[in-house]
Amino acid sequence: FAQAPANVSFIAPTADNPIRINFNENALGMSPSAQAAARDAVAKGNRYAKAEITQLHGKLCDMYKVPKNFLLLTDGSSEGIRALMGAYSRLPKVQLVIPELTYGDGEHFANLYNVPVVKVPMLADWKVDVAGLKKAVDGFDGFSIVYFVNPNNPTSTVTPASEIEPWVKSKPDNTLFIADEAYAEYVSDPKFKSMAGLIQDGLDNVVLLKTFSKLYAMAGMRVGFAVGAPSIIKMMKDQVAGEKLNYPGVTAALVSLDDEPFQAYSRASNLESRKILASCLDKLGVKYLPSSTNFMFFELNEPIRAFQKKMATRNIIVGRPFPPAMNWCRISLGTPQEMAYVANELTKMRSEGVF
């Protein structure tokens, strides 16, 4: 890859500089072209990024084939989740319905806005129970928000479109579906389908949340966006301070969308890292779920807290506990060199009888 950023050369981890594979960040660093654009933007930091924000908004509308009032730029996708909870919490009777094991921001912001949360237990192998979610919605006489992360975090798995689309298309009364597709760029499973198509088809009961934090390696730049019917976007807009994103973030996002070689590199590197970890776990006979993301979820023979500590002493920071999967670990896929190092450590730990 001609585009390989300069900052990916491998240095063995130390206590001060551990391998950080706990937040599903992209270890490659931003694309060199995006870094250059962000640096240039710092010099313009005394100005509002108005023209560039309009440009990014327009570019994303073109990509998603929607009119301008179908999209809102947000300060990362978590700002989109917050805005939705803020907006819908104002309805007279509302609940949030989530799978028990999913990304935490839905529940976090629901708690903040006093929206009761209904958690639907998972099926075998931490599969999302779509019928269970539906039951929770059907049995409620107020408004339901269904927060649906696909592929899911921390499980890394895809819920087939065939399981979720018919429900969304049936337009159940008083229901909003939030489709959080933060990791969709990594998916190759044909059973996955973005909900964007339903929004393009005119459905006004579903909103898509996207982020530049993952494939584009821009987690610290805070750029995300929401796509949905104007009625939903308007409600979100009333919860944020306008599309006033930071200058470096906006310019880096604009450049990243055009940097197809980096996108290909980012995908290929992730795939390579996934193969390295999967092959290690296979060799060690460790059970893991099929990953469609930039992280993997595997089973431990002890509580995650104990394993987390052992890894930390080896200068490797892995994911936190995700109840109720207390004997499972989420490892974000770092660079292939980092994953080779981690695989080697896991193999050593196995031979020492501590993993």
Q: Which residues bind ligand PLP (CB under 6 A)?
A: 24, 76-78, 103, 105, 149, 153, 180, 182, 211, 213, 219, 224
State in angstroms the smallest separation of the CB of 183 from ligand PLP: 7
Q: Which is nearer to ligand PLP, 105 or 345 (CB)?
A: 105
Q: Which is nearer to ligand PLP, 212 or 355 (CB)?
A: 212
CA 207 to each of CA 19, 54, 129: distance values in angstroms, whole numbers, following the listed order: 35, 21, 20
What amino acid is encoded at 188 in this protein? S
Q: Is 271 helix (H, G, I), strand (E, B) or coil?
A: helix
State in angstroms the smallest separation of the CB of 149 from ligand PLP: 5
State in angstroms the smallest separation of the CB of 207 from ligand PLP: 13
| Cα angle value 307/159/200 (rounded, 5°) | 130
The β-bridge relationship of strands 175-180 and 143-149 is parallel
Q: Which is nearer to ligand PLP, 180 or 338 (CB)?
A: 180
Q: Which is nearer to ligand PLP, 182 or 286 (CB)?
A: 182
State in angstroms the smallest separation of the CB of 156 from ligand PLP: 10
Q: Which is nearer to ligand PLP, 168 or 226 (CB)?
A: 226
Q: Which is nearer to ligand PLP, 250 or 343 (CB)?
A: 250
- Residue ranges of E strands in 1-49: 19-21
Using left for φ > 0, alpha for ψ between -120 and 50, and beta otherwise, residue 65 falls in left
DSSP state of 70: G
Give Cα 247 to chain centroid, integer Å.
Answer: 23
Give Cα 333 to chain centroid, integer Å.
Answer: 13
State in angstroms the smallest separation of the CB of 272 from ligand PLP: 21
State in angstroms the smallest separation of the CB of 91 from ligand PLP: 23
Phi/psi of residue 228, each to 5°? -175, 175
Q: Which is nearer to ligand PLP, 134 or 210 (CB)?
A: 210
Q: Token pair 């301008």 is at which residue?
A: 68
Identify which of 257, 256, 291 has the alpha carbon closest to the alpha carbon of residue 271.
291
The reply to whether omega before 151 is within 30° of 0 (cis) is yes
- Which residues, in sequence order, are bridge partners of residue 227? 71, 208
State in angstroms the smallest separation of the CB of 350 from ligand PLP: 29
Identify which of 176, 235, 248, 238 has the alpha carbon closest to the alpha carbon of residue 208.
176
Q: What span, in angstroms and rounded, lies between the C-alpha atoms of 320 and 328?
A: 10
Q: Which is nearer to ligand PLP, 77 or 270 (CB)?
A: 77
Q: Which is nearer to ligand PLP, 218 or 280 (CB)?
A: 218
Structure tokens at 138: 């059907």
Q: What is the dihedral sign for C-alpha 44, 50, 55, 56?
A: positive
State in angstroms the smallest separation of the CB of 282 from ligand PLP: 26
Which residue has the CB atom at the shortest distance from ligand PLP?
76
State in angstroms the smallest separation of the CB of 211 from ligand PLP: 3
Query: Do you know the residue count of the chain?
Result: 355
